[in-house]
Chains A and B, each alone.
Chain A
Amino acid sequence: MPIIKSKKITKTYYTEEVETPVLHGLDFEINEGEFVAIMGPSGSGKSTLLHILGFLDDQTSGTYLFNGKKINDYTGAEIAHIRNKEMGFVFQAFNLLPRTTVYDNVKLPLVYSDYPEKQWDEMIIEAVKAVGLEHRMDFETAQLSGGEKQRVAIARALVTNPRVIFADEPTGNLDSKSGKKIIEILQSLNKKNKHTIILITHESETAKCAERIIHIKDGLIDSDRKVKNRKDANHGYHK
């Protein structure tokens, strides 16, 4: 059973009297354990799609099934619970809490979870280790480089061990070296821990690190294909 199933999803923004259609009916499925890149030029609707898939926004029409259940069938509390336990988010702008340590930033999702508090410490350390920042545990986020900040964001997305990680242009604010490291971490999470990764990007080099690329253009799927010569982030970015 696919973990994500989109049936004719459309999205239209309404402002006063102006209608702005963004998505025109998308049909696709994503299976558990896949690493999918969603590509497209800016304004193509790829971020909007990610927000709908991540329960952050509602579609205008069509059906979105997460884990076989329509989004409309979930209650507000269930949606919060799914965001917490089944999904992890990595944003282009990191969105870390300012004046807060790496440890406490990573802890944040656990605070809203039903994991017993005794396990938190172990889970946080494991997540921070997975992104290789255990030596920065007590640093405040302002003391970190951009790449390190994004790794903290990944650790935060990871800490509740979610099934799907959504990454919205995670390398957009980073230099190529840091960006490569981020993709490398995402790849290893996908391979080792079987996390489903949905990556939004407009860089084709980054997209080629995924198994499958969905191209979106003007709110429609332009192409949906497997990556033939999949890049390993390690090699692909070496100069």
Chain B
Amino acid sequence: MKLTHTFKTAVTGLRTNKGRSLLTILGIVIGIMSIIIVVAVGRGTEDLILDQIRGMGSRTISVEPGRMPEGLGDAYEIFTESLGEKELKAIENKNNVRGNNKVAPFVGLMETVSHENEKMRTQIHGASALWLEILDVYPSEGQMFEESDIKQMSRVAVIGYEVKKELFGESDALGENIRIKGQNYKVIGVFSKIGTKMMMNMDKLIIVPYSTAQKILMGITHYQAILVEAETEELVPKIVEDIKATLREMHDITDPDKDDFHVGTMEDAMQIIGSVTSALTILLTLVAAISLIVGGIGIMNIMLVSVSERTREIGLRKAIGATRNDIITQFLLESVILTLFGGIFGILLGAGFTWLIGVAIREFGGFIGWKFYFPLSALFLGVGVAGAIGLVFGIYPANEAAKKSPIEALRYE
């Protein structure tokens, strides 16, 4: 029998049971759709995060308290108090760390802020002008506070675009006061819409002098991070070593495993993010793959029902000259066509959802840089996997069909 006729026969067989055919492929549609979404959103997210880290600048080094966290449950190490004024000064000292262009300490907290009757809970960052320079963002109205504000622990604030909108609406914010923990802070600068930088939503941020945040708002003396910018990219590894040596000497640490701080570079961060997202993608793909297997079993089930329902037809076909191979090909083609359709639907739906998720991430998540990413490989993967499932899970029913002796089949009621 020619393949074109087998194909026609298979399509006719499927069309006679349209409703059932559609229900059968649902499992495959959902499976393929999930894989496409996972792969596409995973890649998009990875690109986004890497973009953010790259936005930090390749010359930026971050020094944080506690040893390198070794897992999500290990985060408590961050809360050690090993980085304080003394350590900041030591890192700033060019005799200890050569090539350190800018050094900027950082603390952060969540707090409720208000202006008149408007209230919002948001992230407050204690930082310095240098910190903004490293991030390469500047207020569009007003100005950033100066070194003197830090020395005097001034109660001044530079606020993000959303914060301004939330608290002040359309009216002017410059020179007005906002209340944080019962005290007034004068707004001296406002950012225009920036979006996310270094994984921080700049639009929802309030920046105050780090000394003010430390002592007035938090009552602490240590820093949560110290950002260091190298003069050139080539100096980064050397500066990392210098910082480590300086701090170890200060803290009398001889065994690097007992470090009470860790130093990260953009490259480290990119590697970590890269491996985390690929691990997540693999995990989620596995879950989706399980749903595909379940879908495949569904296909096998329905094909077995179909084979037993059509026993007479199979018997007749054999009686008038169909070979074993003709019957196997017919039923295999039916299941492959089914799953291929499922795959195509799944890809379309997956692409659609990925696009919608992208819109949501840009609109509601503030990640303007999120790109719709639809990998061509996912397309081939989807179609390939769907077809393969049809083939694998179709073999058993097709073989059952071909095994039927024509006479038993014709007698079947």
Is B407 touching A80 in the complex (CB atoms < 8 A)?
Answer: no
**Does B275 interact with chain A (Cβ within 8 Å)?**
no
8 Å CB contact of B323 from A51, A77, A97: A77
8 Å CB contact of B410 from A85, A88, A91: A91
**Does A163 interact with chain B (Cβ within 8 Å)?**
no
Tell me the A residues contacting B by CB distance below 8 Å: 51, 54, 56-57, 76-77, 80-81, 83-85, 88-89, 91, 95, 97-100, 108-109, 111-113, 117, 156, 160
| Chain B interface mostly | helix
Chain A residues with Cβ under 8 A from B317's Cβ?
Answer: 108, 112
Q: How far is the CB of B7 from chain A (nearest CB, A)?
A: 11
Chain A residues with Cβ under 8 A from B1's Cβ?
Answer: 111-112
Restricting to B271-326, which residues have a CB under 8 Å from any CB of A? 312-313, 315-324, 326
8 Å CB contact of A57 from B2, B323, B405: B405
Chain A residues with Cβ under 8 A from B320's Cβ?
Answer: 83-84, 88-89, 108-109, 112, 156
**Does B16 interact with chain A (Cβ within 8 Å)?**
yes
CA distance A109 to B323 in the complex (A): 12
Chain A residues with Cβ under 8 A from B407's Cβ?
Answer: 51, 56-57
Is A80 touching B313 in the complex (CB atoms < 8 A)?
Answer: no
Is B410 touching A80 in the complex (CB atoms < 8 A)?
Answer: no
**Does B9 interact with chain A (Cβ within 8 Å)?**
yes
Q: What are the interface flags for B1-40 relative to A under an 8 Å C-beta threshold, 1 for contact and 0 otherwise?
A: 1100100010010001000000000000000000000000
Q: How far is the CB of B334 from chain A (nearest CB, A)?
A: 15
CA distance A56 to B9 in the complex (A): 23
B313 (CB) vs chain A CBs: closest residue: A97
Q: A89-B319, A112-B1, A112-B322 are in contact. List 19 more A-B contacts (CB 8 A).
A: A51-B407, A57-B405, A80-B318, A83-B318, A83-B319, A83-B320, A95-B312, A95-B316, A97-B313, A97-B316, A98-B16, A99-B16, A109-B320, A111-B2, A111-B5, A111-B9, A112-B320, A112-B326, A156-B320
- Can you show 10 pairs from A to B with CB atoms below 8 A apart? A51-B407, A84-B320, A85-B321, A97-B316, A108-B316, A108-B317, A108-B320, A112-B1, A112-B317, A112-B322
Nearest first, the 8 A-B pairs at minimum CB distance are A84-B321, A112-B321, A80-B323, A109-B320, A56-B407, A95-B316, A57-B407, A111-B5
**Does B406 interact with chain A (Cβ within 8 Å)?**
yes
Restricting to B120-135, which residues have a CB under 8 Å from any CB of A? none
CA distance A88 to B319 in the complex (A): 9
Q: How far is the CB of A158 from chain B (nearest CB, A)?
A: 11
CA distance A83 to B312 in the complex (A): 17
Chain A residues with Cβ under 8 A from B324's Cβ?
Answer: 76, 80
Chain B residues with Cβ under 8 A from A109's Cβ?
Answer: 320-321
CA distance A119 to B313 in the complex (A): 25
